[in-house]
Amino acid sequence: MVCIQPSLENGLSKTSGADTFQVRSVSENRLTKKLGQVEDRHLWQQISEALAIVWQ
């Protein structure tokens, strides 16, 4: 799990997480609203590294 703190850049209202152990495909039709976005390159790196561990 990669913890994501709320900031002006990501638009989140509360602490969230990218659960890299629960990855699955989801239809875009099921996504009803955008909650935020990951802008921080360091955070993208953490998520990428966590995914690489899971997919080995």
Predicted confidence pLDDT, tens digits, the chain (56 residues): 899 999 998 999 999 999 998 888 889 999 899 888 888 888 989 999 999 988 87
CA distance 47 to 51: 6
Determine contact, residues 47/18, Cβ cutoff 8 Å: yes
pLDDT at residue number 40: 82
Assessment of whether the complete model's pTM goes beyond 0.85: no
